Amino acid sequence: MTTTAITATTATTTATATARATPRVGPVPVLWLALLATPLAAGANASVLILPDMARSLGVSAGAATWLVASYAWAMAVGTPLLAGLLRRRGLRAALHLAGALLVSGTLLVAASPWLPLTLAGRATQAAGGAGLAAVAMSLAGTARRMGVISAGFGILGASGPLLGAQLSQAVSWRLSLSVSVIAILAVPVVSRYAATPVTPAAAPQDGFDARGAALLTALATALVLLHHVPAAALGSSVLAATLLALHVRRRPDGFVPAALIRQPLFLGSALLALVLSGSYFTLLFSVPRLLTDRAGWDATTAGTGQLVALLSGSALSWLLAAASARMGRTAVRTVLVGVGALAAAVAVFASWGPLLLVATLGGIFAATGSSAVLSMHAASSAPEPQRPTAIGLFALCYQLGGAFGPAIATALVLSAGAGAA
């Protein structure tokens, strides 16, 4: 080979390496953001139909195995604001890489653990990592239309999660079913190339990390998630944690939970509405299958298939609302979300015809995923640029708390009554 050829080859190799190392300019393609965020939803619901298999394998009762679901929900709830706080302070790459490391290490624990406590730790670590990746994706979405793709993906994969988990468990192992969220790691290198440099000292808080604020918020979220499991202790703990957090925010208004943010009517209204619509949807999700059996006489297979179709349809339709939200205006969007959510709840209360109950499910997920897409952008816009990751993290926490309250409401209103009748 000639010297000229060697030089040309070296130059080409150097240019290729430089191109790979140089961050790309422009928004991250939304499908990569969806891949980064949405496997979390499939991982959350993959265990729904395989709890008995997991219990037998781990040598525990079915009731004990349900903690694998609770631990995932808890870590999703507390992991989102914590990783969003890291995103605010250290930038996208630090949050992206830590979240990816948590997801992979948690998946390895789940794959290898022979004991329930270690498996619980793995599930919680998985969920925290997935929540961090979702927080990064939401921060990079930028518009309600792009956020709608992510939210619709959440709904679709969340709806498909139980069936996907059951199929993987039957074909290979329940451990593979609990590992589906790890495919999000495929998007990390691509998204990392688009990530901006870490926040500058001018944009970051100057008085150190607010560990007490983070701990109190984590304690409050933990207590609220556990309300369904240990109501009395969780209620007292949540009141205490909320009181201490409020006092801390007064002492440190620029800390982990910024006082100016939670006093913003736009942020507070968006977050609380998302919590209500999310809670309503998850109540319907757990109630409608029993209502289809009790009121319409459907068997479990027919009810499950019909609900899956309704969930997939409602998730896809929510993207249309997100895409049109910029032209509709905030008031019109909120009117649609509240109207559809209220109508879905009313139909579920009074309807006895099976297809109408499925319409209630469709309306519930449409309102919930639509609120996640559109109201998250409203919440983010209420905060100054440095606090937008925090706004998204706290908004997502409210939305996920709705997912914790929904099953409890369904149990109180429908499931326990059905069990008593049986």
DSSP letters spanning 291-348: HHHHHH---HHHHHHHHHHHHHHHHHHHHHHHHHHHHH-HHHHHHHHHHHHHHHHHHH
> Does the pLDDT value for residue 409 go beyond 60?
yes
Q: How confident is the model at residue 403 (pLDDT cuts 50, 70, 90)?
A: confident
Calpha distance 160→316 (Å, rounded): 13
Calpha distance 201→182 (Å, rounded): 33
Residue 270: name the closest of 344, 390, 371, 405 by CA: 371
Stronger pLDDT, 400 or 417, i.e. the higher one: 400
Report the pLDDT value the prediction gives residue 174, as an integer from 0 to 100.
92
Tokens at residue 201, please? 């000292």
DSSP line for 107-131: HHHHHH--SHHHHHHHHHHHHHHHH
Report the pLDDT value the prediction gives residue 355, as an integer from 0 to 100.
94
Average pLDDT over residues 62-84: 85
Residue 80: name the closest of 7, 144, 131, 37 by CA: 131
Name the percent of the chain lying above pLDDT 90: 42
> Does the pLDDT value for residue 283 go beyond 80?
yes
Report the pLDDT value the prediction gives residue 356, as an integer from 0 to 100.
95
Average pLDDT over residues 2-8: 40
Stronger pLDDT, 204 or 67, i.e. the higher one: 67
What radius of gyration do the chain's Cα atoms show? 22
Report the pLDDT value the prediction gives residue 26, as an integer from 0 to 100.
62
SS3 content of the chain, % helix, strand, coil (to 5): 85, 0, 15
Report the pLDDT value the prediction gives residue 108, as an integer from 0 to 100.
96
Calpha distance 292→297 (Å, rounded): 6
Calpha distance 40→329 (Å, rounded): 30
Report the pLDDT value the prediction gives residue 248, as an integer from 0 to 100.
95
> Does the pLDDT value for residue 48 go beyond 70?
yes
Calpha distance 389→396 (Å, rounded): 10
Three-state SS for 109? helix
> Does the pLDDT value for residue 70 go beyond 90?
no
Say how many Å lie between the first and final Cα of the chain, rounded.
Answer: 83
Calpha distance 280→407 (Å, rounded): 10
Q: Mean pLDDT check: name the lowest of 44-48, 223-227, 304-308.
A: 44-48
Residue 127: name the closest of 226, 222, 44, 221 by CA: 44
> Does the pLDDT value for residue 111 go beyond 70?
yes
Calpha distance 416→408 (Å, rounded): 10
Report the pLDDT value the prediction gives residue 207, as an integer from 0 to 100.
56
Average pLDDT over residues 270-275: 94
Report the pLDDT value the prediction gives residue 154, as an integer from 0 to 100.
86
DSSP line for 28-48: PPHHHHHHHHTHHHHHHHTTT
Residue 164 contacts residue 42 (beta carbons within 8 Å): yes
> Does the pLDDT value for residue 295 go beyond 60?
yes
Three-state SS for 55? helix
> Does the pLDDT value for residue 197 go beyond 70?
no
Q: How confident is the model at residue 106 (pLDDT cuts 50, 70, 90)?
A: very high
Calpha distance 293→303 (Å, rounded): 7
Name the percent of the chain lying above pLDDT 70: 89
> Does the pLDDT value for residue 208 go beyond 80?
no
Burial class (CB in 10 A: 0-12, 13-18, 19+), 5: exposed
* Residue-averaged pLDDT of the chain: 84
Report the pLDDT value the prediction gives residue 93, as an integer from 0 to 100.
85
Tokens at residue 293, please? 């059996």
Stronger pLDDT, 171 or 204, i.e. the higher one: 171
Report the pLDDT value the prediction gives residue 417, as an integer from 0 to 100.
54
Angle between helices 354-381 and 388-410 (to 10 degrees): 160
Residue 123: name the closest of 74, 161, 86 by CA: 74
Three-state SS for 169? helix
> Does the pLDDT value for residue 265 go beyond 50?
yes
Report the pLDDT value the prediction gives residue 24, as an integer from 0 to 100.
54
User: pTM of the predicted model, to two decimals?
Assistant: 0.82
Cα 201 to Cα 136, 197, 208, 256, distances in angstroms = 20, 12, 11, 17
Report the pLDDT value the prediction gives residue 415, as an integer from 0 to 100.
54
pLDDT tens digit string along 136-150? 998 888 888 898 889
- Which residue matches tokens 């498996």? 119
DSSP line for 242-274: HHHHHHHHHH-TTSSS-HHHHT-HHHHHHHHHH
- The sign one gets for the Cα dihedral 217, 219, 223, 226 is positive
Average pLDDT over residues 27-53: 87
> Does the pLDDT value for residue 132 go beyond 50?
yes
Stronger pLDDT, 37 or 163, i.e. the higher one: 37
Calpha distance 408→405 (Å, rounded): 5
> Does the pLDDT value for residue 120 go beyond 90?
yes
Report the pLDDT value the prediction gives residue 275, as an integer from 0 to 100.
94
Q: Mean pLDDT check: name the lowest of 14-28, 129-143, 327-341.
A: 14-28
Residues 6+ away with beta carbon under 8 Å from 58: 65, 114, 115, 116, 119
Stronger pLDDT, 9 or 145, i.e. the higher one: 145
CA dihedral 73, 74, 76, 81 (to 10 degrees): 150
